Amino acid sequence: MRFEGENAAIAELARSITPGQRAEMHRLMDMEPRRVINASWNSDTDFQEESGELTHLIGVATTSTEAAEGLDLVEVPALTWAVFSSDGPYPQDMQQTTARVYGEWLAEAPYELDGFRMFSFCDVREDNTAYSEIWMPVRRK
């Protein structure tokens, strides 16, 4: 788990996606946020420290029950999502937003995390800035 800079393991995962898999993901994409997303969960820490391991997937939100060979479907139950956006230098701005969510918003909001199945997307521009959204499942305390 990395809080600053590129996570080499996630970058390698992204590079391993074949053109055919990308085409299939775009075909399956039929739910908001209608973007390729990064999903993380099953951390052996509580996402509060830069250590340990987590499960990370790159995919799309879909209602489909079947996908082409080489892709897995992961069922996510209906949840309430808190969505945090950022727009600035990539990846620093998104990482700082995540830190503020954990360090400030969760401490004061009447919500708590409903598991650790967060996902995000980034629309990176040529100037190395990006619009990002971080989606976190929450429930009332």
Q: Kindly state the average pLDDT of the residues 47-52.
A: 55
The 8-class DSSP code of residue 69 comes to T
pLDDT at 48: 53
What is the pTM (predicted TM-score) of this model?
Answer: 0.79
Cα–Cα separations (whole angstroms), residue 28 to 32, 40, 59, 78 = 12, 20, 9, 19
Q: Is 106 helix (H, G, I), strand (E, B) or coil?
A: helix
**pLDDT (mean) for 89-112:** 92
Q: Is the sign of the CA dihedral 17, 128, 43, 102 positive or negative?
A: negative
CATH of domain 8-140: 3.20.80.10
Whether the pLDDT of residue 52 is over 80: the answer is no
Q: What is the mean pLDDT of residues 8-15?
A: 83
Residue that has been written with the tokens 């489909």 in this structure: 64
User: What's the pLDDT at 1?
Assistant: 42
| Distance in angstroms (rounded) separating the CA atoms of residues 119 and 136 | 7
pLDDT above 70 for 132: yes
